[in-house]
Chain A
Amino acid sequence: MWSHANEVLSNAVARVGTAAANFLPGLLALLIILVFTVVVAFIVQAIIRRALKGIRFDDRVHRWGLPVLAEWEPARKPSALIARLSFWTIVTLGLLVGIAALDANLTSVLVLRAFEYLPNVAAAAMVLICGLLVSRFLARSVLISAVNMQIQSARLLSLGVKWLVMVLTFAMALEHLGIGGQIVQVGFAILFGGIVLTLALAVGLGSKEMVSRSWERQADKTERETEEQFHHL
């Protein structure tokens, strides 16, 4: 009885020891590969950044008038964006190679899943980028037009438009990623409907007098300007 238990115990310890002995070199290899990859990624990033600076890439983007990239400025220069993208691509590849050293089966499953999910991620990223650009463009359009129409709350209007587009964009991106499922759709519908209802109530009831006063002022102003014949052209 005792000898049997002792045998089982020693077998278990031997199995764990063997598993650990098999796993540790892989882990070490993963760490070495990761460190090596990060160093290589930094070097590649620096080379790309310097090369793009050398050919005055940011100026060229300006001159070509690429609004998609130019819209990110001055927060992110187009060259910095490309360099950072290359950095993270190399690190991700390194991570996959490292995991392969750890466990080949796990990597193949991971890579398979990752590639299956990749189109969703790409679509979501595209939706996010387009949504951000559209929201910035529309926000600026509304801001400038509202100021030219002499609407005092121009900035508020612009922010409202920006966040409406952003909320719509995030909801669409999450749907592409398959996160949240119906909850996102229902949540978005409630949020969007709530915003529209709030605005309608505010204009229809709360701000009725303010709006009418504003229209009166506008009509008065137009009339006065016509009388004074202040022609700009």
Chain B
Amino acid sequence: MPEVDAVTLDARQELDRVGTADIVLGILSYNNAATIAQVIRNAQHGLAATFPASRSVIVHADGGSKDGTPDLALEAALDKTALVQVAYPVYPVHRLTPDYHGIPGKGNAVRAVFELAQTMEAKACVAMDADISGFTPEWTEALVRPVLESQFDLISPYYLRHKYEGTVITGIVYPLMRALYGKRIRQPIGADFAYSAKLIGHCLEQPHWDSDVTGPGIDAWIATGAIAAGFKLAQAFLGPRTQSHSDPPPQLSSALAQVLVSLFTGMNRMASIWQRLRGSEAVPAFGVDLRAVAESPAADVHPMIESFQLGYRNLQEVWGVVLPPATLLELKKLAARSDDGFRFPDTLWARIVYDFALAHRTRAMDRNHLLQAMTPLYLGWVASYALQVRDADALGVEQRIEALCMAYEAEKGYLISRWRWPDRFNP
């Protein structure tokens, strides 16, 4: 896709009116008429109450909403002089497959906010999705204060989620990024991030603003880039995040493929960096840790085990291209187990994720097929995880996730060996 100017001429004229700002809060929307007014009001209220001495501007980046979102945002603004509205470019390809977070072409939206923040010489910038119904003014403080007062460059959100929520992050994104890049960012993909001016300048200098990395996977791309360049990272406890989607979410296999493609493409680009890193270190967290009160609903894992078994019966020829014989043998044993004894070993899961990353790199088959073929394996892991944490409290869940992360870190040598010698090292 050719690179385009993410900020239009109209937006630049708007900037002349607004001038400079200390804090830029970017709100990204697409058909969010139900929530945009509350988000705009709470954002302006939060910024005025928490940072009264700083000049704050809200940048509303909309992807061509058809439900009147921009008009509602303008109406809801408490201070209309501190609101800039821009329309970021959305291409037909972005609309063909709905993004898992509901903002089509999110990469362009974030880029538009970054360009405006840089032009306004903002010291801190927040980018958040407008699909939230439980947004409180405290969020702005939790995200912005570490950037302004503690000189952190990237603040990642840490939402209050129950133990069965965000299993793609728990089972793949967090342990993989932690093992690869050595930083324990608990929720590296999310909807609300804060950035320093230094990091924004660094991101805008990057040449890879293409759809594979900066589409739905923009968060992971920025986070890995920030780690690789040695920026200071932190997390902010934000409490629960209730999403309000106007469109139905995409199928699990599509959403999983979107997440995986951004992670695997990043792995390819950063191979020389992550191959040198070993172990991981904690990342500072700000705000009140509320993990202990997260309540979980009951979960029926039987359909997921059935999906895994169906995949094992039908997708062996596809998995056989990606996975080594020893792994296929383990899967055979696993497929024969009953629901109660269904346990996906951490080591096996880590190796499977690494093998798929390698197959993505070597183009062992069509990449879309490859990523979609991982869904039954993922569901098998989720079923096993849900069974293991069924009776666990918050501490028990954290211990379970920590054990998984340690398995990823321990198996990193396996990944490096296969990455360097994909033909020779094939256990």
Contact = CB atoms under 8 A, between A and B. Distances in A.
Contacts of A144: 315, 318, 369, 372-373
Interface in A69-98: 70
A232 B362 contact: no
Interface stretch (A39-47, A104-112, A150-158): A150-158
B342 interface: no
A13 B315 CA distance: 72
Interface stretch (B108-116, B252-260, B265-273, B282-290): B252-260
Contacts of B299: 228, 230
A233 B101 CA distance: 9
Contacts of B373: 144
Contacts of B315: 143-144, 147
Q: Interface SS of chain A: helix, strand, loop or mixed?
A: helix
Interface in A191-220: none
A206 B372 CA distance: 32
Residue among A67, A140, A155, A221 having the largest count of chain B Cβ atoms under 10 Å: A140
A181 B363 CA distance: 42
Contact of A143 (B297, B314, B366): B314
Q: In the complex, which range does the number of interface residues on chain B fall in? A: 35 or more
Contacts, number: 86
Given A145-B372, A231-B166, A137 B366 contact: yes
Given A70-B363, A147-B310, A148-B253, A224 B300 contact: yes
Contacts of A54: none
Contacts of B188: none
Contacts of B314: 143, 146-147, 154-155
Nearest to A64: B363
A62 interface: yes
Contacts of A59: 423
A228 B189 CA distance: 23
Contacts of A233: 100-101, 166, 168-169, 189, 255, 259
Given A62-B364, A140-B369, A228-B300, 11 more contacts: A59-B423, A137-B366, A147-B375, A147-B376, A148-B375, A228-B298, A230-B299, A232-B166, A232-B167, A233-B169, A233-B189
Interface of B: 100-101, 162, 164-169, 189, 251-253, 255-256, 259, 297-300, 303, 306-307, 310-311, 313-315, 318, 362-366, 369, 372-373, 375-376, 382, 423
